[in-house]
Amino acid sequence: MSAESTISQPIDKLAEEAQSLLEFEPHLSEFVTSWLGEMRKAVTKRELTGRVEHVGRIIHVADGVATVSGLPEARFNELLRCPGNVYGLVFNLDPEEIGCILLGEDKKLSAGDPVRLTGEVVVVPVGEALLGRVVDALGRPLDGEGFIEHERRDPIEAEAPPILDRLPVVQQLVTGVKAVDALIPIGRGQRELIVGDRAVGKTALAVDTILSQRGSDVICIYVAIGQKVSSVKRVTESLLSHGVMRQSIVVCADADDSPGLQYIVPYAATTMGEYFMRKGRDVIVIYDDLTRHARAYREISLLLRRPPGREAYPGDIFFIHSRLLERATRLKEEMGGGSLTALPIVETQAKNISAYIPTNLISITDGQVFLDPDLFYKGVKPAIHVGKSVSRVGGRTQLPAMRAVVKQLRLEYAQFAELEIFTRFGATVEEETQKKIERGRRIREILKQQRLDPLTAGEQVAILLSVDRGIVDNIPLEKLARFQQTLREMIPAKHGKLLKKIESGEELQDTEWDALAKSIEAIAADFSEEKPPPEKGEPSPEKKEEPKTEAVEKKREKRTEASHEEKAEVQPAAATPDDVDDVNDAEPTPDRETNSDD
């Protein structure tokens, strides 16, 4: 039977029914005949295409994963469509069944429900419309601001740019944190790990980095993986209050989301950042944190019966992080010319940076910033351990003015950390060593910084210049915080052009350095313990002599006589009431305190 006769069968049946109708309505004969003819022509010309659907059935579903049978055509990482607008991701390919990760709640699904292959992979929206928004791992808005009119959708999994498409990292990423920018500089396109125990300021350091980009063209993406909703809300409010939300994207998969969403969220955020990188923009992506990401992946793998390895993690745990962080780079001009800087965060337990996940990430990244809980509890914030922190790439990117004032700073601070250990037990040290310790304490105090208060590069250079020139050596430790605040308020008004020159990456002349140092010295004079020397023509203040009374002199003579008598093993004479009265009337001298028993 031909296709044309198959198509015309319904029309013939319809024509028979119309003829029976015309027996009762003969005046409609011409109209019905014309209509049937047009329908026959239209149906004959229409091309009928068939659609094949691959449908399987859920065997088992629980804890964010499902086992499906009847889909032998499924491919790895292919997207599945389940009832209730729930999607899944093909994860295991077994001979008789497949294991999939559910990208949503599994409460609406049950065994026997149909599952369809889509022939697609997971994609997320990208474009300028995402700036200023809070979205989930699939790019759906969470902030209640309405639909996102994205430009296109890109897959979350992408190959890292090849070596020939990359350029060296040559431009510094100013974080606004003095300890980082001075001692552990980070370059645009670098991968720098932030590692430390729980609640020691890792997220605060990352948020300060975002806040310091205010007024620049850097795009900031904050990725919350398994965080509490209250924590994500706090970060979002900080970005809004400081005016950087309009150049930021918050991508969230909180602790209540399924492990599948927590697993794909860093890849989705990286795809959003790569769109801007290929447009020639500089992007920062903060992954907070990859410890929870690894735990979500371990949970999925164990539920799908994958063989466990060290610490019950699957064997490819290194690969899921390496393929993510390898996408951070700086591209050539013909490839877009942008950069993507990755700042992953990892949590340690009891300062154990040799654990499985931290060591994996340390070997993948280009350096790490280690936050020490001991320093944190002593009030040193940010609690950066200089000895365990390193930046293998960022040193060459440091601003010339910054490099000029921190040449010896890291060495001096590291020496101070070692010398301070010996002074804790009351050991006596040489005068030169004591000076190094006092200078190290001032360096540590200068490097302290309040959260949510990033500094510009110019302000940092001015403050660090006061350390390099020894201007702060005579300022008491308790006054250094007020000195820095005064310096930040007064220096921009006097040397605004000079600070802009520093931030633009230009080198300063000796005269410019001297002018800046002179202004800092004038500010430091109000906080210094030692007053500046008198100007020419002014008489020097006379040194006051210590008051000496007859009673004090008499007491000293008696003590001398008593000591001689003790040496001669002769009992000393008892003090007379007159002597006691004289001593009580005497004024104490500065070189020795007088006890009431005397």
Mean pLDDT to the nearest integer, 127-155: 93
Cis peptide bond prior to 106, omega within 30° of 0 = no
Same domain, 315 and 342: yes
34 in any annotated domain = yes
Cα separation, 547 vs 545, in Å, equals 6
Do residue 303 and residue 220 come from a single domain? Answer: yes
Residue 252 lies in a domain: yes
For the stretch 540-587, pLDDT in tens is: 444 444 444 455 455 555 555 555 554 444 444 444 444 434 434 444
In one letter, which amino acid is 40? R
189 and 277 share one domain: yes
- Is 534 a member of any domain? no
Contact 99, 257 (CB under 8 A): no
CATH code of residue 112: 2.40.30.20
Q: Are residues 380 and 436 in the same domain?
A: no
Are 171 and 271 found together in one domain? Answer: yes
Inform me whether the pLDDT recorded for 43 exceeds 70: no
Structural domain ending residue among the three candidates 364, 398, 432: 398
Query: Is 63 part of any domain?
Result: yes
Judge whether residue 26 has pLDDT over 80.
no
Query: For residue 21, is pLDDT > 80?
Result: no
Residue 392 and residue 427 in one domain: no
CA–CA distances in Å: residue 399 to residues 179, 182, 192, 479, 504: 15, 10, 18, 29, 8
Are residues 554 and 473 part of one domain?
no
User: Is the pLDDT assigned to residue 200 strictly greater than 90?
Assistant: yes
Per-residue pLDDT, 544: 40
Task: Decide if 529 is inside a domain.
Answer: no
Residues 495 and 514 in one domain: yes
Q: Are residues 106 and 218 in the same domain?
A: no
Task: Determine, yes or no, domain membership for 539.
Answer: no
**Mean pLDDT, to the nearest integer, of 41-46?**
67
CB atoms within 10 A of CB 118: 12
**312 in any annotated domain:** yes
Same domain, 199 and 253: yes
Residues 369 and 518 in one domain: no
Q: How does residue 321 score in pLDDT terms, banded at 50, 70 and 90?
A: very high
Residue in the structure block whose two tokens are 């337990």: 349
Q: What's the CATH number where 516 sits?
A: 1.20.150.20
Q: 81, 97, 121: which is the final residue of a domain?
A: 121
% of the chain with per-residue pLDDT over 70 = 81
pLDDT, one tens digit per residue, over 504-532 is 999 999 999 999 999 999 999 998 876 55
The 10s digit of each residue's pLDDT in 490-500 is 999 999 999 99
Nearest partner of 300 among 126, 63, 546, judged by Cα: 63
* Domain of 88, in residue numbers: 55-121
Q: Which residues make Cβ contacts (< 8 Å) with residue 512, sequence separation at least 6? A: 498, 501
Q: Let me know: does 84 contact 62? Beta carbons within 8 Å.
A: no
Beta carbons of 139 and 132 less than 8 angstroms apart = no
Cα–Cα nearest to 264, from 115, 480, 101, 396: 101
To the nearest whole number, what is the mean pLDDT of the chain? 85
Catalytically active residues, by annotation: 392
DSSP helix/strand/coil, 428: coil
Residue 590: phi and psi, rounded to 5, are: -65, -30
Specify the pLDDT at position 225. Answer: 97
Question: In which band, very low, low, confident or very high, does the pLDDT at 170 lie, cut at 50, 70 and 90?
Answer: very high
3-state secondary structure of 571: coil
Per-residue pLDDT band for 310 (boundaries 50, 70, 90) equals very high
| Range name among 6-10, 144-148, 442-446, 485-489 with the lowest pLDDT average | 6-10
Residue type, 90: V
Q: How many domains does the chain have?
A: 5
Tokens 């599994």 belong to 106
Classify residue 544: in a domain, yes or no: no
- Name the residue among 103, 102, 148 with its Cα closest to residue 127: 148
pLDDT digits (tens, 9 = 90+) for 228-255: 999 999 999 999 999 999 999 999 999 9
Which pLDDT value is given to residue 530?
60
CB 109, CB 58: distance < 8 Å: yes
Q: Is there a single domain that holds both residue 367 and residue 424?
A: no
**What is the 8-class DSSP label of residue 298?**
H
